[in-house]
Structure 1
Amino acid sequence: MSLVTERQTKRILVVDDVADNVFLAQFILETQGYQVNTAESGETALALIQTEAVKPDLIILDLMMSGINGYEVIDRLRNHQNLPYIPVLLMTANQDVSCQQAKEAGAERLLYKPFDLEQFLTTVELFDI
């Protein structure tokens, strides 16, 4: 089985309130063979996951969004007893956020924006999904 074929079964949910960021992440991931769903807010992402309309293997989540922020999304995911554990890659342009803070909030990894293509893909591949 080829790497692209393996990735076609892997689903990633990209959550960001900036349409350009969503488009870029979706484009990069789909060209690598991943199935990508998107949400423009934390509320929408949680609704999709809770209704099982989307069953992601990984969530790529922006920290600073209007409405509920990335920390709150993670908190709701981790404290909802009927949701499976879904790994989270937290993204932020705020250089004051540390990897330790992201991990304490429940994210597995933190990626600073703007990121380059290679860095983004390498970080996603670390999840081994």
Structure 2
Amino acid sequence: MARYLISFNDGAMDHIPDADWTEVSRASHAVVREAAEAGVWVFGAGLQRQQASIVGTDGVVTDGPYPETKAVIGGFSIVEVASREEALKWAARIAAGCRCAQEVRELMPDAETDAMLRQAGRR
């Protein structure tokens, strides 16, 4: 099984009228419940609209994002599925619920982290 990051850019939901937010929330949470019931949901969240803090390798904190950044993530979901095609199907369901396009990227596998999570009883 592979994990996929399904995300959308900050501002991607700005087109939604205030009156529709209750329905968007209901539809989005319904997809999350379905993914959880299907056993593919790992985690997800919307991000507060704010300027990021960048912590360098030397521990120095600066305001971000970097000027060359064209877009920042506005929200994300992580699913664990058998194939990219399945991840794309979940992304389509999330896109419909959120009313905005979703980007899908496979996360790199990390056996060491998986082993630590299993040992801690979290996988």
Q: Normalising to structure 1: TM-score of the pair?
A: 0.26
Q: Which has the higher contact order (CA 8 A, sep 6+)?
A: 2
Larger fraction in helix: 1
Report which of the two structures shows the higher radius of gyration computed on alpha carbons. Answer: 2
More strand by share: 2
Instruction: Give the structure-2-normalised TM-score.
Output: 0.27
